[in-house]
Amino acid sequence: MAFAKNGSVCIHYERMAAGDGPPVILLAGAGRPSTDFDYAFCAPIVAAGFVPIRIDSRDTGRSGALVDVMPDLHAIKATALGTGSAQPPYGIADMADDVLAVMGAERLEAAHFVGRSIGGLVAQQLAVLHADRVLSLALVMAMSRSMADAIPDALLDRLMGEDTPDEDAYVARQLGMAQANGMAGDYDAERIAEGARIAWRHGIHRGGTARHFAASLAAPDLRTALGALRVPALILHGRHDKVIPLAWAEETAEAIPGAALEIDETMGHDGPLRLRRAWGARIAAHLMAATARV
C-alpha cells in the first residue's frame, strides 16, 4: 500500500498498472472509496498504455478520516447562499492539495485527471490553481460550483443523521441509493451488494459523505476561472441524473474552452458495470487523443 502526507492528513493511493506510461489520476465521488474505479473501468485505459492511479480521497477508504466531526450542513448551505458564516471541516482546495501530495510522492510533474462527481470538482479546482500539472480532464457527472441552491434540506437531514454501523447496513443503504438514483434497468441487487461489500471492506467512514457534501456546498464558483484552461476536456453525463442535473454539466462544458459534452440517454447517477466499461473505453480514447495533441 502507498501513502502520501498532506500535513496531518494521510492519503492512500494505488497504481493500477505497472510501467512508466502517462499517469492518470482517478478521483471518486462523495463518500466513495477508490474501489469505484475497478478493473473493468481501468482495463481499456491500461490497454491504451496509461497508468491509472486511484486515490482514496480524505474521509474514504484507507485515507485519514475525521470520524468525530459532523458538520452542520444547513449552516454551511446558508453560508453558500450568502446568509451565514459556517465553514466546512475542509474544502475542495484542501482535497486538491491531497492530490498534489500524491503527485509529489510519485514524483509526477503532471498527470491526466478523471473525476466522478465531487472528484471532478476537485480535479477542476486543481486545474484552476495549477494548470501546468493537468494534462487533460475527464469528468463523469460534472459540476463546477456549489449546488447549495439545488440540494434539498431533506437530503442534508438524511446525511447528518445517517448511521451505517456495519456492512449489512451499508449494503442496504447502497441498494436504496441505487433504486433512487439509478436506472431501473440497471438495478441488480447482487451486483450492487457485491460492490457495497468491496467498498465497506476497503473503508467507509462515519460521516464521510456528509463531510464531502460540506466541502461541495462551500465550493467556489470555478466557471470564470475555467475559461483560462487550455487542456482537452471530456464530460460524460446522464440525461436522468437526479443528483447533479444535466444543466450543471452543460454549464461546466460551456465554461471550459473546447470541452466535449456527451449525454448518455440511459444513465442516471450510478455506475453499473455496463457504464463503467463504456466510461473506461471512452476515456481511454480521450486520453489517446489528448496525448497525440502534445
42 falls in which pLDDT band (50, 70, 90)?
very high
Checking if the pLDDT of 20 tops 70, the result is: yes
Mean pLDDT calculated for residue range 248-271: 97
Average pLDDT, the chain: 96
Checking if the pLDDT of 236 tops 90, the result is: yes
How far, in Å, CA of 33 to CA of 218, rounded? 21
CATH number at residue 253: 3.40.50.1820
How far, in Å, CA of 184 to CA of 123, rounded? 30
Checking if the pLDDT of 160 tops 90, the result is: yes
Cell numbers for 31, please give them: 463518500
pTM value is 0.97
How many CA atoms are closer than 13 Å to the CA of 140, on its beta-carbon side? 25
How far, in Å, CA of 146 to CA of 77, rounded? 9
Nearest residue to 125 via CA among 100, 150, 147: 100
Mean pLDDT calculated for residue range 146-158: 93
Residue 268: per-residue pLDDT: 95
Residue 68: per-residue pLDDT: 87
How far, in Å, CA of 88 to CA of 77, rounded? 10
How far, in Å, CA of 76 to CA of 13, rounded? 29
Checking if the pLDDT of 1 tops 90, the result is: no
Residue 294: per-residue pLDDT: 59
- 82-102: per-residue pLDDT in tens? 998 999 999 999 999 999 999
Q: What percent of the chain has pLDDT over 70?
A: 100
Domain that holds residue 183: 2-293
Mean pLDDT calculated for residue range 254-279: 96
74 falls in which pLDDT band (50, 70, 90)?
very high
Are 68 and 209 in contact, with CB atoms under 8 Å apart? Answer: no
Mean pLDDT calculated for residue range 114-120: 98
Q: Strand locations in the chain, DSSP E?
A: 2-6, 9-15, 23-27, 51-55, 111-116, 134-140, 233-238, 260-264
287 falls in which pLDDT band (50, 70, 90)?
very high
Mean pLDDT calculated for residue range 222-245: 97
Domain count, the chain: 1
